[in-house]
Amino acid sequence: MKELNKIKYWLFDLDNTLYSGDTKVFDQVDKKMSKFISEKLHVSIEEAKKIQKNYFHEYNTTLNGMIKNHKIDADEFLEFVHNVDLSFLKEDKPLKYEITKLIGKKIIFTNGSKAHAANVTKRIGIDKLFDGVFDIVESNFIPKPSIEPYKKIIENYKIEPQYCIFFEDIARNLKPAHELGMKTVWIKNDEPWAAKFSDSDFINYKTNNLAKFLKEINELR
């Protein structure tokens, strides 16, 4: 872990990474996606769920599948699915403390929207700690793990990959980061679709406690 004392670029996924998956925030988003599909395509919720999962696996995000196959308005989709209850999210003081101590650029890298990132990070008290949010809109709706958004975030934020680390709960999304020279950390997620490939060589570290992991890095400095 000593190699991490040279890190100066910090990339964080948002959902189930900067907050615990146990909060079930993304479960709400998941249900809203099914409802959106059901209403737009005039199908049952059960059929909408099948479409949703098929698009996620084929196109890496449900949104991408809906855009390609049904020409939906992406902004309408993002606003609808991210309109969820976050009132139960509490300030995460240990995480706030450790992120504050990190030296270098700190960026959120999400397949979600900037608005959702702003809402979530404000609830947990870390909204003022980041140098930017690179969202699905900024990536031209090309989602992780396609290589293009990784290259674009490197270009936009002038990142040196060999001094960068990426934290993410969907294991497969770490592969492009590793290929580009970044260090990778899998935030453990028990969902089969997130844990798939979690034993791969492109994952350098694993943790179920982001604040604790960052504390260990900060103590190296």
Residue 59 identity? Y
Q: Which residues sit opposite 168 in a β-bridge? A: 186
Closest C-alpha to 159, from 136, 140, 137, 134: 134
Q: Where in the chain is the domain with CATH 3.40.50.1000?
A: 2-19+89-218
Q: Where in the chain is the domain with CATH 1.10.150?
A: 25-81
Q: Please state the pTM of the whole predicted model.
A: 0.92
> Looking at the domain covering 2-19+89-218, what would its CATH class be?
alpha beta
Question: Which of the four CATH numbers 1.10.150, 1.10.287, 1.10.101, 1.10.260 does domain 25-81 have?
Answer: 1.10.150
Q: Give CA–CA dist 115/79, Å, rounded.
A: 8
pLDDT digit string (tens) for 125-165? 999 999 999 999 999 999 999 999 999 999 999 999 999 99
Q: Which residues of the chain have pLDDT under 50?
A: none
